[in-house]
Structure formats: C-alpha cells, structure tokens
A and B are shown apart, each in its own frame.
Chain A
Amino acid sequence: MAASVDVVEFQLGEEHYALDIQIAREIVEMMPITPLPRAPEYLTGIINLRGEITNIIDLRNLLGLPESDEAENRKIVVLMPDVTNGSNVGIIVDDVHSVVSVRNDQIERISDGITSSISSYVKAIIKIGDEEDEKAKTLIIWLDVQKVIGDLGSDLGNH
C-alpha cells in the first residue's frame, strides 16, 4: 500500500516548501501589487485578479524569513476561497516547481526531534530524492498554509 498525497512544491529563498494541492486554486505570474496604506505588515497589498480583489500575503514575513533578491521567478499561488473564509488570498513564492506525489514513508513528522519557530505551521518534512544516492536527497517543508491563514483571522479578532 503505497498511499500517496499530491503537494505543490515551491521555493522560498533557498528552502523548498510544499502545500496541499487541494488548497491551491491557481498559480499566476507576479504582477504589480498595490500596497494598502496602514495594512498589517504581512499583507503585501492587493491585486485585481480578473475583477476579484485578491489579498496578497507575504509568506516570508509570516514565517520570519529574511528578504531575498530572487525576483525573477516569483509567482503568486492563489488559494481556494474556502480555505480562507471566503476572502481571496494569494501568497507570494519565489518559484513554483512541480506537483510532487509523496508516499507515506517519505513523510516525517516534525515533532520527531526538530523544533522550530514555525513548527506549529509545519505539517511534516518530506524526504525526497534518489533512494540509492544519499547525497541527492533533499528536504521539503510541508506547510500547513490553511493554519497560517486561519491564524491571521484570529489574530485580527483580538486586536
């Protein structure tokens, strides 16, 4: 039984991340983003995506990652509205790689040893690469984007 899940692999800075494919609605090329005065810092701004105002979130800021210069392949992953309580939300990523099929045995829960500032947002670590060649193996951080976005809402409620 090789049960597997599909995830979208993307890049932020040097690291590779993944998010559930079900929550991604589409991937669009980077476009000019209109900043919103006095908006929270994580909100880069808004764009007009086919007539729908879409809030663009800076995942980097939310995860506490440093700014990067990598701008060439930047894309916006637009999320399904049901993940975000009906708002239109897109997240900026440095690059989108591919859809990866992940087998259960490749998934390692993060609680097993590693602690991190963002561990509550990490679903698991995915080990990927050549089975034979240990050096070619790499890690993908599987993010719980739904939780990241969901927490934004609740934070706002408290302010």
Chain B
Amino acid sequence: MFDEEGYRKLFVEESRENHENIVNNLLALENGDDQQAAIDEIFRSAHTLKGMSASMGFDAMEHLCHSMEDVFSLIRSGRREVTATLTDLLLTCTDAIEAMLDAIEAGETPSGEQSASLVQELQAFAEEEEGSAQETPPAAAASAGVPPEQAEEAEERPLYTLTVGVDPSSTMKDVRAMLLLQNLEEIGTIHSTTPSRELLEDGKFDGPFEILIESEAGEDALRTIASGTELSLLALSTPQSLPAASEEVRAPEPAPSEPQIPPPQVQRAAKTEKSREIKNIRVDIQRLDRMMNLVEDLVINRGRLEQIAKKHGIKEFDEALSMVGRSVSDLQNLMMGIRMMPLERIFNRLPRVVRDVANHDGKEVEFSIEGGETELDRSMMDGLSDPLLHIIRNAVNHGIETPEIRNASGKSPKGSLRLTARRDKDNVIIEIEDDGAGIDPERLRKKGVEKGLMTPEAAANATKDELVGLLFEPGFSTAETITDISGRGVGLDVVKKTIESLKGSIKVETEVGRGTKFELVLPPTMAIIDVMMVHINGMRCAIPVSNVVEVAQTRLEAIHRIGNSEAILLRDQTLPMHRLDDMFGRAEKSDTLVVLQNDGRRCCIVVDSVDGQQEVVVKPLSSIAGNCRGISGITIPGDGDVVPVLDVNTMI
C-alpha cells in the first residue's frame, strides 16, 4: 500500500469529526433537545465510523460502532428509552473510540480489550427486555433504519416514474446518471431505479432507465432536472398513489438479481447526503499558510504590473489589470477570513468536561456558552484549548459548591457556569464566570506563607489583588485535597504562562460567596483588525482604529510649547501633542492631527496625511527585531507594501 499513511491520516481526521458529532449529540439528547435529529445524527455518524473502520481493517472499532448502531436503531424505532445509564455507557464507548483513534494516529493497532467488554454491555442492553420480540440480527438492525411504512405514513407525496435516456455517445454515462440521481434527491425521495442504483452509478446499463421518485416539486421541476446535458427525458408518468405504484414499478424489476438496495436505504442515503452538504472540508493549516503567502505574492506582483501599465498607458491593459486587481483583493480578503475559526471549535469539548466533573463531584451545574461564533486566528486556537479546559475544570471542581452547601447559603442548588466570548475593539475577550464559593483572600494569605511564597510580614500587608495574584504562582493550589480531576500538578501558573505566550493576559475577580470570574484577553496579533493608514514624515504606518478618536485640522498657532513638550487646545480640551521625532524623524510642519486614546488617556500626534481605513492581518515582529516600543506588529496591506502597526500603549 503506497499511501497507507495518507489513508490512515484521513481516516483519523474524519473519524474524529464523526466521534465529536456523536458526543455532542449524546449530550444534546441528554439535555432533551431535538431528540429525533440527535438520534439520527448519532446513527449516521456511528454508521459512517463503522463503515470506515471496517474498510481500514480496525475490527475492534468496527464491532463497537456496530453495537452502538444497534442500540441506536432500537432507540430510533422507539423500543428503548434514553436513560442516564445508557448515556454513560455510550459516552464510555465514545471514549474508547477516541482512545483507539489516538492509537491509530500514532500508528499502532488499537487494542480490542476494552471495546470487547463494551460490546458485551451494549449487546446485553440491546437484548434486555427484548424478551419475545424477535432477535434482530445486527446486520438487519443496521440497515433497517426507519421502517418504510413509517416514512410513508408521514408523507403522502405524489409519485412519479421517470424514464430517462442517456446520450449513447456519452463517455460518462455513470457520472451523468449519478448526478441525475443526486439532483433528484434534492427535491424528492427516490424509491427505486431500474436497473438498480448501483449498476447505474457504475455505468453498467444500456439504453434508458426508470426512476421511481416521490416528490412534491411538481412535474416541471422533474422535467428540468431530467433533461440536462446528454440526458433526455423519455417519459414522465402522471402522479400515482404510493402503494399501487410500488407494486407496479417494482414488478418489471429483474427480481432476484438486485435486492441489495431496498427502498429504505436509498431513502436514508438521500438524507445522509443532505446533511453532508453543510459539512466543511478539511485542509492542512500549512497549505493554507502557503496559499496566504502566494496570495500576497500575487498582490505584490499586481502592484508591479500596475507600475508597468502606468508607463505605457494602454487602456485595454489597464482595464484587464483592474479586473485582476479586484479578484486579487477578494481573494486576499477570503484568505484572511479562512484563517479565522469560530471559538466553538474548542468550546464544543467543554460541556462534556463540565458534565463529567460535575457528576464526579456530585454537583449540579448549569453550563452556558455564549459567543462561540467569535472568531480567532487558528494559530491561537490550539494554545487556548488547554488553559480553558483547566479553568473550566477548576470552576466546577473548586468553585461551585455541592447542592447541600448551596442550599444552606441560600443559593439555588444548581450552580451556574458561564463561558462567554466577544470581540472588544482589537481584543477577543473570553470570560469564565461561576457563582460558586469564590476564593477567600484570608486562605490565600495563609497558604502563601505556608508555601513560602510570601513572608509573613508581606502577607499581612498584602492587598487582595496581590493575594489573588498568588494563584498564578508555581506550586500554589488552594484545594485541600488533590483530586484526580483538577489537581494534576499543573496549576494556574501554567495557564498564565500559556496565555502570555499567546501575548494575552489573564485576570481574576473573586468575591467570597459570590463567585469567581476569569477574564482572558487575547491580543490582536494575527487577528484581523481595522487600521487607519497614515503617513508620518513620509513613512506609512497603521494605527488601530480602536485607538483613534478623531482626525482634526488645526492652525499652527493653536500649538503651544510647554517647556520641552507641546500641547494643543482642541474644543476646550488640552491634549498633549507628540511629534514622534525619534520614530520617524523630524517632520515638516503639518496641520493634520490624529487624536488617540488608550486606557482613557488621550493625546494627539501629527501626521502628514490620513490615507483611509482598512482591515489587515497584523503579523508579529520577529525576535530579531527585538522589542520595538511603539510597534505592535507589521502588516502587508493590499498593495504589497510593508507597514508597521503602531502600538499606542507603548508608543508615547
């Protein structure tokens, strides 16, 4: 197998997606959300997992998925209720699947021990209370899906028989047929085809073929679809009632040869495809980065072309170039957008964590997530995952009290844990807030001394903020007992370090008896920000729009010297004025000012001109450049130039 490694990778990636889907839907099921949809999704994912693992030869995983599928087919047909024990069992199964995937990814063969016992449990569950109800053989259960009667009862849509011919000269009969079937599935449900679907899709047919389809779209829509390229609709039967039709049309079918695809499965295939349409494709991050670089290269070369064009002044060429220019800008914007990922991608794991920790500790927690759609550059996403997990675990484990204690202190027995994310100016802010016991500064004071992090004198005088800061010191943990959930030797100090390595910051607010709030502020680096492009002494630079208050024109006389500094009176406000000579050299007199603000302080700088506003990706400075105060990063705007981005905070 020349490309087994590649297959394996693909398999693991897709399986993870399916696995995550199962877990999320299991949780949704437990929360009593849309039951049917969740069950269908799980069924579908388990089925896909089973198929894929079978084709890769991972038998243990296949069996496990198979058993899960069996149980779900029982649930789906209403013969089983979803109970907490069952959910637990199924979640354990998903854990086992995850462990197997990890093993497969590492190039090992997954062990079948755990899964074998799980398979037994699942089977026991499927059989229990089954009693006299006939033992469903697993294979049948797997393919049974929704019993056909059930589906038909629900919807009484007109039924058509289409006879379609494919141009005999066509070299792609199979593709044509397959596309046709797919298109038809968009508007209806295909009950059967003659010859069978498999033969059609393999191109093993001569002459016209028949399709029995149930659809509300009407004859015209069917006609349109059935008369595409190299296709011709030979006959379209009038609407019939369903039972009669199925008898009638199935009759001419060569009976014994094609029973492989019974109608229900075709129907399910249709559904599967529909839900797949909204799926995303996976792309290697490095490929995206390479693409981004290429796009930027394109941008630079467009600039060069424009210069050449200017020299020659050919109108046609200019027009073509401006078309290219537009496409390139669109492409660039698109690429910037693609790099961003919604935080949901890491938030989605957390409900499971909260559930597990809460169950383990016997606590009741209502976990809510807001702002999962907030986007963050994917390069930060990975680093953020562990710190978040840690804080969330901590909040449930240490923050929220048991129902008894909560009752005693007059709170609702169910603790609340809120995770919110939002974009604030340049930053993405993530908050984790619980309404638990809070952190007692007196206990911190005591611990700080015990652990030798503070001298008793220092501790006695320490402010609350200083004490809370102790939480982030290495080797500090307030939990009296080490649990297997949050006391794993890594503490908030690691969290802090990780956040800082992402150039972010972390803050805690806590109030005894009221709860604790962690606030993570993540910086604009690598994120898309809005900047105002200006020229200062002939040099182009970008100022984050969030720092800009206004652009003002002034008279030179309005500028006053106060010793070695300057100030200006602008609408009754005295603003310190900076010329930034050390950054950009002494500039010509200019009367354009940009009023900036940072942390509530205002000042203004002199610029030659303001060139407008645009969205850019800010790239961090390399370590070679050191720490240039006043510069937060570099950006490459649409024309391929390199432009420093000012950091108003450290600039002055």
**Interface residues of A, Cβ cutoff 8 Å to B:** 34-40, 43, 46-48, 50-53, 55, 57, 84-85, 87-89, 149, 152-153, 156, 159
CB <8 Å contact, B626 and A37: no
Given contact pairs A51-B292, A53-B634, a sample of 11 additional A-B residue pairs in the complex whose CB atoms are under 8 Å apart: A34-B642, A36-B625, A36-B644, A37-B584, A38-B583, A46-B634, A48-B296, A53-B622, A55-B622, A84-B624, A156-B627
Q: What is the chain A residue whose CB lies nearest that of B294?
A: A51
CB <8 Å contact, B294 and A43: no
Least CB distance, B619 to chain A, in whole angstroms: 5
Least CB distance, B475 to chain A, in whole angstroms: 25
CB <8 Å contact, A53 and B619: yes
- With a CB–CB cut-off of 8 A, which chain A residues contact B628? 36-39
Interface residues of B in 605-650 (CB under 8 A from A): 619, 621-631, 634, 636, 640-644
- With a CB–CB cut-off of 8 A, which chain A residues contact B625? 36, 39-40, 43, 46, 55
Scan B572-583; emit 1 where CB is below 8 A from any A CB, else 0: 000000001011
From the candidates A35, A38, A51, A88, name the one contacting B622 in the complex (CB within 8 A): A88
B295 interface contact, C-beta 8 A: yes
CB <8 Å contact, A38 and B629: yes
Least CB distance, B426 to chain A, in whole angstroms: 19
Least CB distance, A26 to chain B, in whole angstroms: 14
Known contacts A37-B584, A38-B631, A52-B293; is-contact A87 B636 (Cβ 8 Å): no
CB <8 Å contact, B293 and A50: yes
From the candidates A43, A53, A152, name the one contacting B642 in the complex (CB within 8 A): A53
CB <8 Å contact, B623 and A37: no
Task: Give A82 to B333 CA distance when docked, in angstroms.
Answer: 30
B202 interface contact, C-beta 8 A: no
From the candidates B293, B621, B642, name the one contacting A47 in the complex (CB within 8 A): B642
CB <8 Å contact, A57 and B624: yes
- With a CB–CB cut-off of 8 A, which chain A residues contact B642? 34, 46-48, 53
CB <8 Å contact, A156 and B636: no
Q: What is the chain A residue whose CB lies nearest that of B622?
A: A87
Q: What is the chain A residue whose CB lies nearest that of B633?
A: A53
- With a CB–CB cut-off of 8 A, which chain A residues contact B130? none
CB <8 Å contact, B626 and A156: yes
Interface residues of B in 549-572 (CB under 8 A from A): none
- With a CB–CB cut-off of 8 A, which chain A residues contact B297? 50-51
Task: Give A46 to B541 CA distance when docked, in angstroms.
Answer: 13
B336 interface contact, C-beta 8 A: no
Task: Give A20 to B641 CA distance when docked, in angstroms.
Answer: 31
Known contacts A37-B583, A50-B297, A51-B296; is-contact A149 B624 (Cβ 8 Å): yes
Q: Report which residue of A34, A38, A153 has the largest number of chain B beta carbons within 10 angstroms of its beta carbon.
A: A38
From the candidates A35, A38, A51, name the one contacting B630 in the complex (CB within 8 A): A38
B103 interface contact, C-beta 8 A: no
From the candidates A36, A38, A85, name the one contacting B623 in the complex (CB within 8 A): A85
CB <8 Å contact, B539 and A35: yes
Q: What is the chain B residue whose CB lies nearest that of A57?
A: B624
Least CB distance, A34 to chain B, in whole angstroms: 4
- With a CB–CB cut-off of 8 A, which chain B residues contact A87? 622-624
Task: Give A153 to B624 CA distance when docked, in angstroms.
Answer: 6
Known contacts A35-B539, A38-B582, A38-B629; is-contact A48 B640 (Cβ 8 Å): yes
B300 interface contact, C-beta 8 A: yes
Least CB distance, B245 to chain A, in whole angstroms: 60
CB <8 Å contact, A156 and B619: no
Least CB distance, B317 to chain A, in whole angstroms: 24
Known contacts A84-B624, A85-B623, A149-B624; is-contact A37 B630 (Cβ 8 Å): yes
Least CB distance, B628 to chain A, in whole angstroms: 5
- With a CB–CB cut-off of 8 A, which chain A residues contact B580? 37
Q: Report which residue of B295, B541, B622, B641 has the largest number of chain A beta carbons within 10 angstroms of its beta carbon.
A: B622
- With a CB–CB cut-off of 8 A, which chain B residues contact A40? 625-626
Q: What is the chain A residue whose CB lies nearest that of B620?
A: A53
CB <8 Å contact, B624 and A55: yes
Least CB distance, B156 to chain A, in whole angstroms: 59
CB <8 Å contact, B296 and A37: no
Task: Give A156 to B628 CA distance when docked, in angstroms.
Answer: 11
- With a CB–CB cut-off of 8 A, which chain B residues contact A35? 539
Scan B42-80; emit 1 where CB is below 8 A from any A CB, else 0: 000000000000000000000000000000000000000
Q: Report which residue of A37, A52, A57, A87 has the largest number of chain B beta carbons within 10 angstroms of its beta carbon.
A: A37
- With a CB–CB cut-off of 8 A, which chain B residues contact A47? 642
Q: What is the chain A residue whose CB lies nearest that of B643?
A: A34
CB <8 Å contact, B295 and A51: yes
Q: What is the chain A residue whose CB lies nearest that of B636?
A: A48
Nearest 6 CB-CB pairs, A to B?
A: A51-B296, A37-B583, A51-B293, A87-B622, A50-B297, A34-B642
- With a CB–CB cut-off of 8 A, which chain A residues contact B299? 51
- With a CB–CB cut-off of 8 A, which chain A residues contact B626? 39-40, 43, 156, 159
Task: Give A133 to B299 CA distance when docked, in angstroms.
Answer: 53
- With a CB–CB cut-off of 8 A, which chain B residues contact A153? 623-624
Give 18 CB contacts A-B under 8 Å: A36-B625, A37-B583, A37-B584, A37-B631, A39-B631, A43-B626, A46-B642, A48-B296, A48-B636, A50-B297, A51-B292, A51-B294, A52-B293, A55-B625, A89-B624, A153-B623, A153-B624, A159-B627
